Amino acid sequence: MKAKNITIVLDNIRSRENVGSIFRTADGAGVTKIYLCGITPTPEVGSPKFEYRNSKQILNSKFQIQNSDKIAKTALGAEKWVPWEYRAKTWQVLRELKVKSLKHAPYGSEASCSGFKVVGLERFDKLTASKLKIRQKNIFKYKVPKNKKIALVVGNEVKGLSPKILKYCDDVVHIPMYGRKESLNVAVAAGVALYVLTNRG
């Protein structure tokens, strides 16, 4: 089965274990690239072709090595071959993905027309969704555009995606919850979303 062109953008994820788990799932789902944004921790070792570290996290090499081990522990090596890049500002990444191809073609060129469809993964109550003027879509009923590159945006474990980031999302999808808890662990949610998007359309 041919894998879809899916990129995942991690917006201010704080847990290294969650980042590592997402790397492992991204590898299984055939994700093209992972963008680690804001406070999202970065692996100590990555692909030299794509790697760009979060400079704020390598001031103390001993601290970085200890914490990057937590990423490696849950990634089980996926952080070494899944392409990734650190970017300070999530919104800039999303803007680039929406209007440019992976080769960063000049805006307005033929290649730039094949930009990504940005899909935010977030869950709101009806009142909040109404205030933000967001129409949430059940991910299990979401129609993935054919032959369209997808950028899945996953937010902070506590705060989720900010209104500023949501403005760059073409669609916002959610995973329905049937128990007392209102949400899943971010790495689990990302895994569900990635496999739904991979196997639809």
User: 121 and 140 in contact (C-beta within 8 Å)?
Assistant: no
Which domains are seen in the chain, by residue range? 6-199 (3.40.1280.10)
Residue 197 has pLDDT above 90, yes or no: yes
Give 41-88 pLDDT, tens digit per residue.
998 754 444 455 555 444 434 444 455 578 888 888 788 889 999 999
Q: What is the mean pLDDT of residues 5-27?
A: 94
Q: How confident is the model at residue 3 (pLDDT cuts 50, 70, 90)?
A: low
The pairing of strands 171-174 and 117-121 is parallel
Amino acid at 113: C
Mean pLDDT of 87-95: 95
Residue 179 pLDDT: 87
In tens, the pLDDT along 181-191 reads: 888 899 999 99
* Cα(141)–Cα(14) distance, integer angstroms: 30
Average pLDDT, integer, range 27-31: 92
Q: What does the alpha-carbon distance between residue 100 and residue 107 come to, in Å, rounded to a whole number?
A: 6
Q: Is the pLDDT of residue 113 over 50?
A: no
Per-residue burial over 60-94, b if 16 or more Cβ lie within 10 Å, else e, is eeeebeeebebbbebbeebbeebbbbbbeebeebb
Task: Break the chain down into helix, strand, coil percent, rounded to 5.
Answer: 40, 15, 45
